[in-house]
Structure 1
């Protein structure tokens, strides 16, 4: 018996943080708004559509954003408000399906192949959800509807803001063929650049490559790339999607120039990461240090341990191990980050020490 065609919706709130601020402060409506700090070391967390017309984007340094849009209005972030609104939105999703995979506060995948409420189509469900979000939160959302997650994500960008778009099964491969690979979710800037260097610019170019060729250059990700070029993506909507990493980073008001200052900042980051781990009863085996210099050059260094990180001191020392080869500093440091990945539960650690004593096989 053949499996039914899946019906996947990707909901993406429109300029979420900035839209919440414009909703709560009517004077900001129609204004170019950036959520973030306007100080020299500030970074834009989100930009309204009015600000985007000037080229202002999230993750952009505030000084650059101000240069692009001199009359830009900066608003400090209110994450507790965004989380509360996100909870409202997810409660709306739950009326239609229990199969919800949040990607962030402002977007999620929904599998409505077997919805809780009888509706004629996924398109109708997406329309209802967007209407409910507008009525109950005063915010707009865009939706993409398709037979897999990859295409639903692409579709949600196609009619932004405040729109929706459907990619039916017969149109998936054709739709992908004309798009630049740089627009594909799952292909970041570095991978897109590598593809471009190999003559792969569009979905059609990607489809023309054999799986062995892609495996040679992209390793384990090759099968995913091979599939999406044909409009195929079999990944399920993961309700309890496991967290892959926990990390913290800090942008300094003034560049750090001394090892002592940098080590103090690292110690503080390790404390915050370990506290977050404690709340979730998890730890990890891979520690990654991120360092951004004053000229925005960025370095990352990682190490994987045989056992889970045991405590905060262990995490701090591993971070120091990664940092030490970068000293003395070649220039000031504007940002430092520390991330723990390859996560696992710490609630049953009994075998952890025993395993570390076993000889290599």
Structure 2
């Protein structure tokens, strides 16, 4: 059966497959969101991955619904929707589309994969055209529209245009090349002697020491398998972030639950002698940041690359900052075991109990 896209606002008007979203009334949900009703055999790290699994299982109940929708536009969700509308091409390019969705959502890319350059070009093209023609991610409020309604315009433009770029990325070179070159330059820094890493696999933390803030696609590129990133830049500038891998139901490996960062912020504030204070986002944010405060960042600014926002100098040395972060998570995670499919209720309860220890 041929599928077609409908706006999320039309979800209940016909049998509809919902991608990278949750909502009442869907015939079939293909999403990696925590608690989403994705059929167990179709669970995947990305929502696009669940779609591709479904295409390999055409007898999946609900897949016969013709309409397809999503409540927002991003790379992963778009790849999933496009794949349902173009199943033969999607399966032919399955490995590339999986890489593209992973890069778009988790900012992770295995540079040794022979398809990595193509995936980067596709994501850069999607990002560039999105900003040129519409609004940046989480920017719907700026255009005074709800994301679930405004994002339909993006789908309507990208769905017929993407296939040609997938088959021949050079058709979109003028759009993807500036960001692509920026990412390659940043990757070179990440792979140089100026950057070094310290890994703490028992707490899911990787510490990245590099001179200046970098775009996420480079910064998070080598962080696969880790869920917390402490970025340490020259001049005693730091940011700590829970990756998106702990906001969704990750299928490929167990994870530790997110913990509230108020205790860590309090400890750092006790050590901080500058005029700034350490602030943090709640665990339910898609990518909670802990950082020295300046002018408050909105969601679009927090989602943007680290080199696109100010990161302030701390009075705390890099060595002490790392020690405090490691000590906090080792103590709080000591009695917690990784698992798959944490519910938000379990995450909140675990956070309370970890503080009480």
TM-score by length of 1: 0.27
Q: Which has the higher helix share?
A: 2
More strand by share: 1
